[in-house]
Structure 1
Amino acid sequence: MIPFNHLGWIFKYIGPLIYPHTIRESLCSFLIPLSRSASVLDLGAGTGVMSEFAYACREDLQFTAVDPAEGMLKFSAEYVQTHKANAEALPFDTSSFEAILIGEALHHFQDVEKSLQEIVRVLDDEGRLFIYDFDSSTFMGNTLCRVEKILGEPGNFFAPEVLKQRLESHGFSVSISQFGYRYTIAAQLL
């Protein structure tokens, strides 16, 4: 298993460099319809890089970060409220967030189905979900999946269409944007 709890300092400085500009643009477009001061959850946040990118687009939003590794969370920006928790058991009331962001983290979740149930529970009516991950149907995505599994990670990578179907079964409308071996999903509860 990757020792994320001890790697926060690396991810804080290297993490932002590996997010392509196109992914950041996609995130900014996703955030436009959110209401002023909307509550946003950065799930599997690590050092909060998705919150930082989102903050650069919308400073008015209220950011909360969740990650099981406190050693990652301690590198989050001061405007982010942090909580040590797993995606499968979120410490929030029902309908607590207008949006959830998941950047390069879904593949680390132990139980994706339970995590999706929790996501639906904590999103408010017509809540929005943004996911950025690697496409397992591509050579590079498949390679990354294999490496993660060798390192003891769950390696729950999905082809975009497969993840789209799973999200639709939980009541989301889903739009996919492909960026080579990476993709984003912008979804909204119906």
Structure 2
Amino acid sequence: MIPFNHLGWIFKYIGPAIYPRKVRVSLCTFLIPLPRSASVLDLGAGTGIMSEFAYACRSDLRFTAVDPAEGMLKYSAEYIQTHKAVAERLPFEENSFEAILIGEALHHFVDIEASIDEIVRVLKKEGKLFIYDFDSSTFIGKVLCRVEKILGEPGNFFTPGRLEEILRSHGFSVSIRQYGWRYTIDAKLSVQ
């Protein structure tokens, strides 16, 4: 297993370089329709890099970060409220967030179905979900998946199409953008 609890200082400083400019632009576009002071959850946040990029676009939003590694969360910016927890058991009431961000973390979630059930539970009606991850159908995606599994990680990588199917089955409408061996998903939860 990757010792994330001891790697926060590395991710704080090299992490931002992993996010291409086009992905950051997509994130800003995703955030534009959110109401002023909307609550945003950065799930599998690590050091809160996604929240920092989002804050650069919309400093009026309220950011909460969740990660199981306190050693990562301690490097989060002061405007981010942090919680040590796993995606499968979120410590929040139903309908708590207008948006959820997952940056390069979904593949670390142990139980994808339980995680998505929790996402649906804590998202407000018509809430939005932004995912950035690696495409397991590409050469680099396959290599990353294999390396993560060797290191003891769940390695739950998906093709964009497969993740779209999973999210649609949970009530989301989905838009995908491909960036070579990476992709983003902009999803909206239907009224239930």
Q: Tell me which interval the TM-score lies in, with the shorter structure as reference length.
A: over 0.9
Does residue 179 in structure 1 map to residue 146 in structure 2? no
Which whole-Å CA distance do the structure 1 matches of 2:144 and 2:34 have between them?
33
| 1:28 to 2:33 alignment | no
The DSSP-based 3-state class of the residue aligned with 1:92 is: coil
Aligned to 1:157: 157
Which 5+ residue runs of structure 1 have no aligned equivalent? Answer: none
| Identity fraction in percent | 78
Q: Determine the C-alpha separation between the residues in 1 that align with 2:143 and 2:50.
A: 24
1:85 equivalenced with 2:120 (yes/no): no
Pairwise CA distance, 1:99: 0.1
Q: Tell me the residue number matched to 1:101.
A: 101
Query: Structure 1: which amino acid aligns with 2:79?
Result: Y
Match of 2:118 in 1: 118
Aligned length in residues: 190
1:14-25 map, 5 Å: 14-25=14-25
The structural deviation recorded for 1:165 is: 0.3
Runs of 4+ in 1 over 3 A off after TM superposition: none
Distance 1:142 1:176 in 2: 19
1:72 corresponding residue in structure 2: 72
CA–CA separation in structure 2 for the residues paired with 1:18 and 1:41? 20
**How far is 1:17 from its partner?**
1.0
RMSD: 0.3
Tell me, in whole angstroms, the C-alpha distance in 2 between the residues paired with 1:113 and 1:94. Answer: 17
Question: Separation in 2 of the partners of 1:98 and 1:17?
Answer: 27
**Counterpart in the other structure of 2:167:** 167
TM-score, normalization: structure 1? 1.00
